[in-house]
């Protein structure tokens, strides 16, 4: 998949390297593309979002979708709950028509299509055409097959940039004007300034875009947002901990900063995004960070499932990254990411503090629980919501916005908002590598 977009646009581009931070991001750059956060005035925790609790999709005209990428994010895997096509099928029912699947690996694309065509969703995929490149698809496109939406799940190394071969957003907004785009996170692994330039182009094109920061759609997250807004609270501080279980992470690229950019940019991005969602914009000039590197005594791990010695020493990922910063309102943010646990289950928590309040979010990926301590009460209220699927919510909201108008359902992560999260993750990595180099001198 790492050759995806360069082949998809038939342009030869050298492989991007994530080995060094792309740039220091100026706060003014972030401010230029600031967007207002959606409110949660209409949040109803009792509305079921799980797919098996939905009403059958109503009949209607065909809804044509182009899928970019035949990998796990679009078609699912045993490693996690992601599977965008599964949610599209349940949202649209027999209306769904996947007209094109674009992937340079015909074998991979044919395999996932066969699985679909051997199931109850045959009608959505029986006429799907596999294209090896985006250009091949665009050249063959007939007016009657113009898509209603494009779902982009190609690798981030080939998105979010302005240079040819890595500018799929620019190609789509120019060649398929007005067609809404769903784009996976992170928006890129390239230079941050190029990602902001892409955000500007998308905004000027008036294209509807949703980025896959699905944790924003969790009911417990919306409940936290509701408490903050209804009580007119200023966040005082946010403390997040993301401790991963590493022994089954057998993808060599993930352990290589020159490819997947390291755990903060690639993995902790979800928590960085939620911290911005609750706390507002970050003063990037205040970001400080330390890291535990692989060659330090405490950095030795006993069950790494890949031959890490095949990775250049300078490209091996840190074991722990700890960062602090100031939000624009003066609040303090703190993030710790650690490659530390074994087994399968991660340990993920986030505390949001405001005057009289502590909102503690636990295990948002698997079994989300919210603990609330309110003014005048030393005990924690425990909030759980059943029948919640944030992946389905983000897909359903996108479809509703396309068909019923922009106010039909909130898109909680715009492209430019996602770029600001990307800028924060890069600044954290930059800061940690700066302090690591200084310590070695």
What single DSSP character describes residue 286? E
* Closest alpha carbon to 370 in 383, 357, 387: 383
Around 295, how many Cα atoms within 13 Å sit in the side-chain half-sphere?
8
64/51 Cα distance (integer angstroms): 21
Is residue 425 a contact partner of residue 263, using CB atoms and an 8 Å limit? no
For residue 139, what pLDDT is reported?
95
| Domain spans of the chain, in order of start | 4-15+25-215, 231-386+419-440
339/307 Cα distance (integer angstroms): 16
For residue 42, what pLDDT is reported?
63
84/212 Cα distance (integer angstroms): 10
* Closest alpha carbon to 306 in 338, 336, 265, 339: 339
Is residue 420 a contact partner of residue 198, using CB atoms and an 8 Å limit? no
Mean pLDDT in each 10-residue stretch from start to end of the chain (441 residues)?
36 41 42 39 70 77 97 85 93 97 96 96 97 94 95 92 92 95 95 96 95 97 97 98 95 93 96 98 98 97 97 97 98 98 95 98 96 96 94 96 90 97 98 95 84
Q: Which CATH number, 1.20.1530.20, 3.90.600.10, 3.30.360.10, 3.40.50.300, labels domain 231-386+419-440? A: 3.30.360.10
Q: Which residues have a Cβ under 8 Å from the Cβ of 153 and sit 6 or more positions away?
A: 67, 68, 69, 71, 73, 74, 84, 184
Is residue 38 a contact partner of residue 410, using CB atoms and an 8 Å limit? yes
CA distances from 426 to 34, 94, 148, 439 (A): 18, 42, 33, 20
297/421 Cα distance (integer angstroms): 32
Q: How many CB atoms lie within 10 A of CB 31?
A: 11
* Closest alpha carbon to 350 in 328, 339, 335, 340: 335
pTM above 0.85, yes or no: yes
* Closest alpha carbon to 13 in 250, 194, 254: 194
Tokens of 178: 């007005």
CA torsion angle 254 259 264 270 (round to 10)? -80
For residue 4, what pLDDT is reported?
36
For residue 23, what pLDDT is reported?
47
158/155 Cα distance (integer angstroms): 6
Fold of 4-15+25-215: Rossmann fold (3.40.50)
DSSP characters for 165-226? TS-HHHHHHHHSTT--EEEPSSS-SS-HHHHHHHHHHHHHHT--EEE--GGGG-HHHHHHHH
Triad 40, 195, 346: Cα angle to 5°: 60
Is residue 120 a contact partner of residue 149, using CB atoms and an 8 Å limit? no
Question: 49 by DSSP, 3-state: which?
Answer: coil
CA 222 to chain centre: 17
Tokens of 371: 């603990």
For 287-298, give the secondary structure using H, E and C: EEEEEECCCCHH
The phi, psi pair for 132, rounded to 5°, reads -75, -20
Tokens of 48: 């079921």
For residue 41, what pLDDT is reported?
53
For residue 38, what pLDDT is reported?
45
Please confirm whether the linkage preceding 179 is cis (ω < 30° from 0).
no
Query: In this structure, is the dihedral angle defined by the CA atoms of residues 21, 27, 32 and 34, taken in order, positive or negative?
Result: positive
The phi, psi pair for 119, rounded to 5°, reads -125, -170
Question: 209 by DSSP, 3-state: which?
Answer: strand
């Amino acid at each position: 998949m790492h050759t995806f977009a360069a082949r998809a646009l038939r342009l030869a581009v050298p492989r991007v390297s994530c080995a060094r931070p792309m740039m220091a991001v100026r706060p003014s750059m972030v401010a230029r593309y600031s967007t207002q956060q959606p409110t949660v005035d209409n949040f109803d925790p009792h509305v079921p979002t799980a797919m098996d609790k939905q009403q059958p999709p109503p009949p209607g005209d065909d809804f044509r979708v182009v899928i970019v990428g035949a990998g796990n994010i679009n078609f699912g895997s045993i490693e996690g709950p992601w599977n965008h096509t599964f949610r599209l099928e349940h949202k649209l029912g027999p209306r769904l028509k996947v007209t094109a699947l674009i992937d340079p690996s015909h074998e991979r694309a044919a395999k996932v299509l066969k699985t679909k065509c051997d199931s109850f969703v045959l009608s959505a995929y029986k006429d799907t055409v596999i294209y090896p490149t985006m250009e091949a698809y665009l050249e063959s496109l007939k007016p009657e097959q113009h898509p209603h939406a494009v779902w982009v799940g190609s690798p981030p190394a080939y998105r979010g940039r302005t240079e040819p071969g890595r500018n799929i957003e620019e190609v789509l907004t120019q060649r398929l004007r007005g067609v809404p785009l769903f784009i996976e996170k992170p928006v890129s692994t390239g230079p941050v300034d190029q990602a902001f330039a892409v955000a500007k182009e998308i905004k000027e094109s008036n294209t509807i875009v949703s980025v896959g920061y699905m944790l924003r759609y969790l009911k417990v997250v919306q409940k936290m947002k509701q408490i903050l807004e209804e009580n007119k609270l200023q966040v005082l501080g946010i403390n997040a901990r993301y401790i991963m279980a590493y022994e089954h992470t057998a993808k060599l690229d993930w352990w290589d900063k020159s490819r997947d950019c390291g755990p903060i940019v690639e993995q902790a991005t979800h928590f960085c995004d939620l911290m911005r969602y609750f706390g507002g914009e970050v003063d990037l000039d205040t970001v400080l960070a330390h890291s535990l590197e692989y060659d330090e005594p405490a950095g030795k791990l006993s069950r790494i499932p890949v031959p890490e010695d095949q990775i250049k020493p300078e490209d091996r990922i840190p074991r722990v990254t700890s960062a602090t910063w100031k939000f624009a309102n003066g609040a303090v943010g703190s993030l710790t990411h650690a490659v530390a646990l074994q087994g399968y289950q991660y340990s993920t928590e986030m505390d949001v503090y405001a005057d009289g309040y502590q909102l503690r979010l636990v295990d948002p990926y698997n079994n989300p629980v919210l603990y609330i301590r309110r003014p005048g009460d030393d005990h924690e209220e425990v909030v759980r919501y059943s029948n919640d699927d944030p992946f389905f919510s983000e897909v359903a909201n996108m479809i509703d916005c396309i068909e019923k108008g922009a106010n039909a359902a909130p898109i909680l992560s715009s492209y430019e908002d996602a770029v600001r999260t990307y800028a924060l993750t890069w600044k954290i990595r930059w800061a940690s590598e700066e302090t690591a180099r200084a310590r070695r001198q």
